[in-house]
Chain A
């Protein structure tokens, strides 16, 4: 199953299971089914709850927050994640704050979906990774789609959390296959933190004895695993890749402070094993190098936050500081040969691992 189909199935599933759920966005109705076809078939099955809207990102995001305020669940599609800048106010000043600024908890079941990232030559305003702009907002969770995490569980967890979430979906992933990692690697799922979905680990044999730990979100899985394979074949370097589903709050190295909720989301993932945080920390402790990789452009990024967290948690146990790999501090050009100079490539990860292990 392709990632796009899995996500589409997740939307079908949530609309079917919960009759108070809405999906809202521009050009999402059949027969068009959304710019990336993620909403295909939804409006035919659930007319009245799948709403094609005017080009009004702020308006429709605020509208979704109004539905959430009334106890409905609302999923908004922002056609290109770059445009979520237009909805910054309803997300940050309304949805996120409504959860707590009135003195007691107000559930807001709301997801803002953002097709994200470059690699398709769409140019500076249709290729960005906007995650960093939503990191550190109290009351707001940031998730990223991954080929290793079942979107049915992820969407369920985002809505069940009762907090608004922004869901970043690397566009390139849509055409890739779900639950598939490059040979000779395999992956498992460990429960850590309280995101409600596990953390995926991609590794060769022993995930807690790899030379190098790489932490990266779903959009980087393909580039990271290609680099891992080259490092293995050419240098016999082993890496373990950690892929969280929820990027913020980032707590995958913390013990879960409550049972992961909803329980069903974990059981929906293959091979989940309990009490993962301690084992993740063991992996970090054993590694000779730790890298954080993201596609967002450098400066004030999610990766900086993760590196800081790891430093604070394990400073005395790390062999060397965490290495951070981001795209260049630049606009993202349209022409393919220029774009590839800005965005993180497989070779950047490969080079950085070797450089880190050289010390």
Chain B
């Protein structure tokens, strides 16, 4: 079977589990923006609209003993790991049942081996330390860190990559390169390329240009295995797009740039590929999130003792 016939033979939509998860994340993020718009949530949030497929495609490639470090734009990462929209929404809204009692909020979540922090680049050295621990105690496990294109402005990234490569640590860096760092296009904040920077440290680099989760898994599976078995850091760069604002209502991009991102949205592609099956799944997740929002909003406030 040739490669192109393999692609043709693949069903047009990912399997139900993946499709549901993609749509769960999409509707979760849309619901958040809606809640903010209504003034029902305080603080801030950063949605991953357009990037949902990144953690969904990585989900089966990461195991329970792996650590995952997420960042400010981490709702999709969390949902792909735990499928716990109620706990996450409660965390963001400061309601009972919050993953971290409402202390961390949108961008500071810690559960089992999953942790997110709100400072750019900070978690790369931490993940390097975790990778060292894993290499010494449970070979075959890895530390995965999600960062963005903007994160490459931070010096801590290079200190960590240097050490991870030098000491041969099982570190997987997932770069969600969405072309914009808050309001600054990549071309105005990065000289050279992510590939050039990764390779300068002897770290392997792989670029993903598709949003097809099945195809992404096929491409990445052997590379991720190498991270585990050979303790070789890998930088996977997803060429992706951010559909929404950086946080809430702060999108200053020209309309055509956003339209172009929307044209490449996995959501539109999948909706066209199998309209009936997609619509059914889409409606189911929309309804699931809507019910969840009402349920969590009705919960009492979360409780925490600052001196605990």
Contact = CB atoms under 8 A, between A and B. Distances in A.
Contacts of A46: none
A102 B129 contact: no
Interface string B130-156: 111110110000010000000000011
Nearest to B125: A62
| A interface: dominant SS | helix
A58 interface: yes
Contacts of B128: 59, 62-63, 66
A59 B160 contact: yes
B103 A100 contact: yes
Interface in A77-131: 89-90, 93-94, 97-98, 100-106
B122 interface: yes
Interface in A58-73: 58-70, 72
Interface stretch (B4-12, B14-22, B94-102, B178-186): B94-102
A103 B122 contact: no
A117 to B, nearest CB: 27
Given A62-B156, A66-B132, A103 B103 contact: yes
A347 interface: no
Nearest to B126: A66
Contact of A93 (B100, B103, B122, B132): B122
Nearest to A53: B163
B108 A67 contact: no
A100 B308 CA distance: 8
A100 B155 CA distance: 26
B108 A62 contact: no
A138 to B, nearest CB: 9
B133 A66 contact: yes
B93 to A, nearest CB: 14
Interface string A143-155: 0000000000000
A68 B104 CA distance: 20
A353 interface: no
B125 A58 contact: yes
B71 interface: no
Contacts of A60: 125, 159, 163
B160 A63 contact: yes
A74 interface: yes
Contacts of A102: 100, 103-104, 108-110, 115
Contact of A101 (B98, B103, B124, B162): B103
Contacts of A106: 110
Contacts of B163: 53-54, 56, 59-60, 63
A62 B124 contact: yes
B133 A104 contact: no
B113 to A, nearest CB: 9
Contacts of B108: 97, 101-102
Q: Which of A59, A90, A100, A101 has the most chain B CB atoms closer than 10 A to its own CB?
A: A59
Given A59-B128, A63-B125, A94-B117, A89 B156 contact: yes
Given A102-B109, A103-B100, A105-B308, A69 B159 contact: no
A72 B109 CA distance: 21
A53 B169 CA distance: 14
Contacts of B160: 59, 62-63
Contacts of A93: 117, 119, 122
Contacts of B159: 54, 56, 58-60, 62
A94 B121 CA distance: 11
A72 B156 contact: no
Given A54-B163, A56-B159, A56-B163, A101 B125 contact: no
B284 to A, nearest CB: 31
A277 to B, nearest CB: 20
Q: Which of B103, B119, B123, B125 has the most chain A CB atoms closer than 10 A to its own CB?
A: B125
Nearest to B119: A93
Contacts of B289: none
B59 to A, nearest CB: 23
Given A59-B160, A103-B304, A69 B104 contact: no
Contact of A66 (B101, B110, B127): B127
B200 interface: no
B190 interface: no
A90 B166 contact: no
A157 B257 CA distance: 57
Contacts of B109: 102
A322 to B, nearest CB: 27
A101 B163 CA distance: 28
Contacts of B162: 54, 56, 59
A76 to B, nearest CB: 10
A61 B125 contact: yes
Given A59-B156, A59-B163, A102-B108, A66 B129 contact: yes
Interface in A243-295: none
Interface of A: 48, 53-54, 56, 58-70, 72, 74, 89-90, 93-94, 97-98, 100-106
5 contacts: A56-B159, A58-B159, A64-B129, A72-B133, A102-B115
List the 10 shortest-distance A-B pairs measured between CB atoms, nearest first: A66-B129, A62-B125, A59-B159, A103-B101, A102-B110, A103-B100, A56-B159, A63-B129, A70-B133, A66-B126
